Each structure stands twice: as structure tokens, then as C-alpha cells.
Amino acid sequence: MPQGQPAVVPNDGLTTRQRRNRPLVMVHTGVGKGKSTAAFGMALRAWNQGWPVGVFQFVKSAKWKVGEENALKVLGASGEGGRVDWHKMGEGWSWIQRDAEQSNEDKAREGWEQVKRDLAAETYRFYVLDEFAYPLHWGWVDTAEVVEVLANRPGSQHVVITGRNAPAELCEFADLVTDMSKVRHPMDAGQKGQRGIEW
């Protein structure tokens, strides 16, 4: 709750306001549901502040997340709040030629290269790197480089990274890490995913 008081006040030479507005790196990991949905929920807040929002979807999906995608596109085009750019892997990143021969590994790396360019240019103020934990976990993108780029990003750019198995090195660096644990899931009772809920 925002009303809460921090447990410690660090001796970092920052005022409370400076510290409060420090841009964040956030990680949503774990095997439970809600990692991406919470990230998109946060994007609503960023949109509401008028911040430009960049979504980078690092895992191909057919119908998955169309709800969030449509909603954020309608919001971005509403004339209120910030603009929203949605970059989707698997349909070709929006900035590269479609190339059926390109491996997912290459696509993930190209996606990260674009994120780096956008961070350097301060294109967005809020980034959702959706499912980015997977290419990190698989070693397709180097976690140490990601941490270094994030640590040195200019200006005030918040970044939220989702996906299972977020590398420890990333979690140690991140300002906020939430682990979504599965306590109970309909699939355990033989129920498959359904529209409106899973996508």
C-alpha cells in the first residue's frame, strides 16, 4: 500500500522525493498465474499518467493476450493518457522484415536490441518486456548484459519483465520481484483455459 512507510531510510544522498521517483525495474516470476496480467494492469497506471508505453511480447502466441492487446490499443488511441506501442514477436517484430526462416532465438535477440535502442532514446517511460524471462533463462539473451543496460538506462524509464524462471542475477538487481505461486488452478481439476480468462 502506498500509505506504508519504508522499513529503512537509506543514506544515499537522495531526498525522499528523489528516491520515490527513482525509476524501477520490476520482475514478475513464478509458476502461478498473474505475471503478465499484473504487468498489463500496471501499464494501465502508466497510461493514465500520460506516459508512453512500450509492450514487447517475447513469446509467440496466437490468441493469447489479445484482450490486453486490444484494450491497450484502444486506450492508446483514445486521446486520453499516453500512447501505447505493441511489438509482437512471432508475427514479426514490427520493426523488422518478416522472415519465416529466422529462429526464435534470433527474434528474441533482435527484440532485445530494439529495447536497447528504445531505452537509449528514452522512447517510452514504461516498458513491458512480456515473457522476457524465457530467452534470458534459455541463454538466448545474456542476463549480465541486460542488467548492465538496465542499470545504465537514462532518464526515468520503468521496466517490468515477466516470465517463469527469471534468472537470479536479474532478480538480485531488480527493485521489485514478485513470485506468483500457484495454489490452485482449474487445470488441476481437468479444466482447460477459456476465453475471457486465459486470453
Show contacts with a second copy in window 142-181 (CB under 8 A). 158, 171, 174-181
Q: Which stretch binds a second copy (CB under 8 A): 26-34, 90-98, 100-108, 112-120?
A: 26-34
Q: How far is the CB of 135 from a second copy (least distance, A)?
A: 16
Q: Which residues pair with 162 in a beta bridge?
A: 28
Candidates 4-12, 101-109, 114-122, 133-141; binding stretch for a second copy (CB under 8 A): 4-12
* Closest by Cα among 86, 19, 20 to 52: 86
Name which position in 74, 120, 121, 144 contacts a second copy (CB under 8 A). 74
- Smallest distance from the beta carbon of 139 to a second copy, in angstroms? 21
Min. distance of Cβ 44 from a second copy in angstroms?
4
Return d(Cα 197, Cα 61) in angstroms, integer.
15
Check if the beta carbon of residue 145 is closer than 8 Å to that of residue 177. no
Pick from 44, 96, 123, 149 the residue near a second copy by CB under 8 A.
44
Burial of 185 (0-12, 13-18, 19+ CB in 10 A): exposed
Contacting a second copy within 94-123 (CB under 8 A): none
66 contacts a second copy (rule: CB under 8 A)? yes
Cell numbers for 114, please give them.
530494439
Bridge partners of 86, per DSSP, are 55
- 60 part of the interface to a second copy, by CB under 8 A: no
Q: Please state, in angstroms and rounded to a whole number, the distance separating the CA atoms of residues 28 and 79.
A: 30
187 binds a second copy (CB under 8 A): yes
What are 154's three cell numbers? 537514462
